A and B are shown apart, each in its own frame.
Chain A
């Protein structure tokens, strides 16, 4: 079977993650990359053995008819590039956040439907090994009813030297609602949506902890009530150490994972027995899970596995659905619901 063709527009840090993953897919050939910087485009092409590089995405789309276009530019340029891709009849796999305002998403969604093109947003953590394990526990009934989900993302974006607070070259995230935190809200939003389903109500609080920071806000808290359960979410630009913690509490067990440290996952089951003894049993079980997970995590790093656990699975599934002419891996209406939730959460004035 002939290989599928992909191209990538925007050759920054996240592009390297895409290209690393794509190099591992047997059924995909990356035909070209594009960046407004000639050197960056050529460096990406040289590094990954890609035949062609461009500095204008319209030239690329005129020369090549790819099965999928990866858009990995800063968010403000996603909308016009995606519009050009649809005009050329191409499927789109766009980095998050797909758009800077929800109305732009609605335009893209309509155009994608009209042109019968795929419009995917990178929601890699949905396919993260720990998230898939949690989903299994829910599906199998082992976790019981999901009562609550907590998602806490901590990144020291305010530290000196951080690109998020670089006053010489303002970070692209500052163009988003919610400032640079808006760059991370899609991750929180799609994970919430996975567990809560349709959103009923949201409450948010935005604060600034570091007064010297140029950011409008560096802390975010939210509570989201959904049709299936409730989620408490937070983003901290100051809490240390960095981590992306998820805790799902069910009627039979509680599951905790740090999505930055796959595949470490701690499952705490409700046990029957002498409480003091059970404390010891739980402690030993937890230690074993942490140890095994940590060793596996170290081996993953030494093996050169992408730190973006879930990205390979997501990209692979996307190409597979194109190959088999199936519906896109994440339905467009679900991406819509997440985009809408992001807009609700990022409304700093709430």
Chain B
């Protein structure tokens, strides 16, 4: 199979390209013009383009059997993220509509869910966030990106799979939102026993390649997480130890953190009405979406695709930190 990968030069993209090659596929990777080419074999076709501005993207689809759409911004202000994630996707899919390719695997995120409505376990039936603008720029962009993908895929009757990974982590990307906040030598852990929806980058890549290959993925939506066995305390302890960043782990019960955020929100509303603005940590909805102590199910991807993450947590730690030690 020949697979076109957007965001090929990114953190997840590099792992996906490697996994596709391991599985014997041909790969064409879209890499931004100014980004260095990752150390890939010469068989990987590199298509230089920035999806936001490239005049003609249609040639990228020539001879392609399936598309893995990973491109998205993870930093920058709200407008930059919207442009890099949503507008770029719109332009890319408009070009895809002019090609013969019908198979699309889109990488979304767990942030598209309404975390306040996930009562005990988050799975694919959890309602989607209906008010994206109460959230941050990344969430707004990922919600809109999924809307755009779903809409255009439906309009062209494409064979679409949406994969929503949890916190993707791995070498050089070991700091994740659910860890809490680091203030100097102090790690503030909101809900130290909260389960983390971790998805190691190599496991995530394997899941995505599985979704491309497996006909059972057609028309499906999957949450991709390794498991929810690892809790905040353990992850941060491993992180601090393995990065050599010794510090004090200060646990704050989730309810206390959320209570403070709710108090701040009430005060803001009392003083400034609905217009009031608070930092992310003191915005209850955003606090919940990072630290809510719920379970995360990967039952669907296991059942439908018969997928199990190839690496366990210990192996993931080894793969992610051994270079640093």
Contact = CB atoms under 8 A, between A and B. Distances in A.
Contacts of B80: 163
Given A168-B32, A169-B52, A304 B75 contact: no
B42 interface: no
The 7 A-B pairs at the shortest CB distance, nearest first, are namely: A304-B275, A13-B79, A168-B50, A303-B272, A167-B34, A304-B277, A169-B53
B33 A168 contact: yes
Interface of B: 32-35, 50, 52-53, 75-80, 82-83, 86-87, 90, 133, 140, 144, 147-148, 268, 271-272, 275-278
Given A169-B53, A302-B268, A39 B33 contact: no
Contacts of B76: 161, 163
Contacts of B32: 168
A302 B87 CA distance: 30
B132 to A, nearest CB: 8
Contacts of B52: 168-169
B272 A13 contact: no
Nearest to A13: B79
Interface in A129-172: 161, 163, 167-170
Nearest to A43: B144
A43 B276 contact: no
Given A169-B52, A302-B268, A303-B276, A40 B82 contact: yes
A107 to B, nearest CB: 28
Contact of A167 (B33, B78, B140, B144): B33
A168 B53 contact: yes
Contacts of A301: 277
A282 B75 CA distance: 44
Contacts of B33: 167-168
B142 to A, nearest CB: 12
A204 B226 CA distance: 60
9 contacts: A16-B79, A37-B86, A43-B140, A46-B133, A47-B133, A168-B33, A169-B50, A304-B275, A305-B275
A251 interface: no
Given A39-B144, A161-B75, 8 more contacts: A12-B83, A37-B86, A43-B86, A43-B144, A167-B34, A169-B50, A302-B271, A302-B278
A37 B148 CA distance: 11
A270 interface: no
Given A168-B32, A302-B277, A304-B277, A39 B86 contact: yes
Nearest to B272: A303
A103 interface: no
A52 to B, nearest CB: 18
Interface residues of A, number: 21
A46 B140 CA distance: 12
B46 to A, nearest CB: 14
Contacts of A161: 75-76
B236 to A, nearest CB: 27
A43 B87 CA distance: 11
Interface of A: 12-13, 16, 37-40, 43, 46-47, 161, 163, 167-170, 301-305
Contacts of B275: 303-305
A303 B271 contact: yes
A37 B82 CA distance: 11
Contacts of A169: 50, 52-53
B272 A302 contact: yes
Contacts of A305: 275
A70 to B, nearest CB: 16
A304 B86 contact: no
A256 B33 CA distance: 44
A34 B35 CA distance: 33
Contacts of B78: 13
A169 B76 CA distance: 14
Contacts of B144: 39, 43
B147 to A, nearest CB: 7
B276 A302 contact: yes
A301 B272 CA distance: 10
Given A37-B87, A38-B90, A43 B277 contact: no
Contacts of A167: 33-34
Contacts of B277: 301-304
A40 B50 contact: no
Contacts of B86: 37, 39-40, 43
Nearest to A306: B275
Most buried by A among B82, B133, B147, B268: B82
Contact of B147 (A13, A37, A39, A170): A39
B87 A168 contact: no
Nearest to B77: A13
A302 B32 CA distance: 38
A279 to B, nearest CB: 37
Contact of B148 (A13, A39, A47, A302): A39
Give the residue among A40, A169, A303 with the most B Cβ atoms within 10 A. Answer: A169
Nearest to A167: B34
Contacts of A37: 86-87, 90
B273 to A, nearest CB: 8
B87 A40 contact: yes
Contact of A168 (B34, B82, B147, B268): B34
A301 B35 CA distance: 37
Contact of A304 (B34, B50, B53, B272): B272
Contacts of A40: 82-83, 86-87
Nearest to A214: B34
A163 B271 CA distance: 35
A144 B33 CA distance: 56
A295 to B, nearest CB: 14
B87 A39 contact: yes
A302 B270 CA distance: 12
A288 B118 CA distance: 49
A96 B227 CA distance: 51
Contact of A39 (B90, B133, B271, B276): B90
A302 B77 CA distance: 19
